Structure 1
Amino acid sequence: MTTSKVPFWRCVPKEGAGRFLLPIMPAATVGPEGAPHVMGGVALAALIDAMELESELPLQYAHVQFLSPTQHVEELEISCEQCGGGRAIAQYAASAHVNGRPTHRASAALGAREPSEQTLFAEMPDVPAPDESEERAHTYPVAPGGLLDQMDYRIAAEDNARGLQAIWTRSRAGFAVDAAWLAIISDFFLGAHPGARGPGSSSLDAMLRFVQPCEPGWVLSVTDFGAYSRGVVHGSARHFSEGGRLLAISSQSGVLPRTPQASSEA
């Protein structure tokens, strides 16, 4: 087990406005040994990092489309630019490419209207604490040193009939629980239900609405599957600090594993 001590989603500025590079570390990848690919949540985290660096503003929300595969990719070229907004909130667009091939496309809003008073309506459900929850291995295939080596993972509650799951996750390196880290853990959406796991499943898009950060530690992600329809799953999740404060809201659509069709006799 290898744990990265360096944030593996951090971008490197390149020459020119809005241009960045993400060197792909093993910690940023999932997939079986010999066929790693960049986890979608890591790509979203890198796009968020680039837009926050370029704008010098905190994230409000970001939405990303996963456009093409990233197997064996060594780096992502990221570009971003402001495309609208007002005095307090800036609207941004960003994209990632590999050798000119688009792999991700994102839109986001950054900034804050101050002064403001925070009101949190969402309440964390009553579930077992991390040390009382079941420790279970991920179902995602991953090579040693990959993304799943970077976190602890425990099941707090699960109701497959209702499409509900609550899991605790924690960075083993003690990374800050900020917008980028929440983007990463929110992308474990497809693993929250047995019907969405398996070969052939893949995320189409991901949305993160960022509320606030918290101190490094456990985060509870409560995933609510809405529907399976036309071969795609739709759902959302809320993410809470161990103390019960809402940190972010996410949503995602993903292609379901292929269902073997019954053979027919001629």
Structure 2
Amino acid sequence: MSVSRFPFWRVAPGERGGEYVLPVMPPATVGPEGAPHVMGGVALAAAVDALELASGQTLLWSNIQFLAPTTHAEELVVSCEQCGGGQSVGQWQAEIRSNGRLTHRVSAALGAREPSEQRIFAAMPGVPSPAECESGDRSWGVPGTLGDQLETRVALQDDARGIQALWSRSQAGFPADSGWLAIVSDFFLGAHPASRGGSSLDDTYRYIQSADDGWVLTVTEFAAFDRGVVHGSARHFAEDGRLLAISSQSGVLPRIPRTP
């Protein structure tokens, strides 16, 4: 197992204003031997990092469209531009390119209206704690890639109802911040046997708050399989029950579903 001690979704300033570069390292990738590509959630996390740097504000909401593959990408270039908003909240857009090819398009809002009182209505469901769950399958992926960067434990798997509750945490102890939670939000297609191996079309991600090093519970609820596409949503909780983020996604189902 090879665990990255550096947040592999962090970007660096590029050559032009509003431009940021993600050097693609193996921990950012998934895919078969010889054909690695940047995991969609990592691309989203890189965009979130770039947008937060460009705006000087914290993410509220984002949507990413997965437009083209990133196989063998050595770097991703994120270009950010503000396109609207007021004094408290800014509306932004970003484009991600690999070798000049547009691979992702992002819309987002960042900022805050202060002072404000936090009220959380969503409650974490009662599921076994991570200590009470068996470790998840670590055999997926090529050694050194994203599969080595996290530990997972399944707390609930109800395929008939389309519900999964999955504990996950960073092997390196990264906090569950806006970037890490963006990565976690893209675990959606792995939550049901019939969708594993599919292709994500988008990821809508709403960030609420961070948590220190620890487990994140992702509760995924599938809404429908229709026209070869799956739709659903997820809520992400800290181990102490605090709501950290919510997300939703659509993805193309695989032509041949993987066996459980």
TM-score by length of 1: 0.95
Residue 205 in structure 1 maps to residue 221 in structure 2: no
| Number of residues of Structure 1 aligned to a counterpart in Structure 2 | 257
Contact 1:36/1:142 (<8 A) preserved: no
In structure 1, the gaps of 5 or more residues are 261-266
Which stretches of structure 1, 4 residues or longer, exceed 4 Å deviation after superposition? none
Correspondent of 1:228 among 218, 225, 229: 225
Q: Percent identity?
A: 63
Contact 2:57/2:110 (<8 A) preserved: yes
Separation (CA, whole Å) in 2 of partners of 1:53 and 1:123: 31
Amino acid in structure 2 at the alignment position of 1:255 = V
Query: Which residue of structure 2 lines up, in the alignment, with residue 13 of structure 1?
Result: 13
Secondary structure in 2 aligned to 1:97? Answer: strand
- Per-residue CA shift, 1:117-139, capped at 9, x if unaligned? 00000000000000101212158
- Per-residue CA shift, 1:16-57, capped at 9, x if unaligned? 210111000000000111111100000000000000000010
Query: Which residue of structure 2 lines up, in the alignment, with residue 96 of structure 1?
Result: 96
In structure 2, the gaps of 5 or more residues are none
Secondary structure in 2 aligned to 1:2? Answer: coil
- Per-residue CA shift, 1:85-123, capped at 9, x if unaligned? 001000000010112210000000000000000000000
After TM superposition, the structure 1 = structure 2 runs for residues 90-239 of structure 1, keeping only pairs within 5 Å, are 90-137=90-137, 141-198=140-197, 201-239=198-236
Query: Which residue of structure 2 lines up, in the alignment, with residue 69 of structure 1?
Result: 69
Structure ID, larger Rg: 1
Contact 2:136/2:151 (<8 A) preserved: no
Q: Name the CA shift for 1:97/1:69 in 2 (closer, same or farther; >3 Å).
A: same
Alignment RMSD: 1.1
Separation (CA, whole Å) in 2 of partners of 1:250 and 1:138: 24
Contact 1:214/1:247 (<8 A) preserved: yes
Separation (CA, whole Å) in 2 of partners of 1:233 and 1:154: 23
Contact 1:61/1:110 (<8 A) preserved: yes
Query: Which residue of structure 2 lines up, in the alignment, with residue 27 of structure 1?
Result: 27
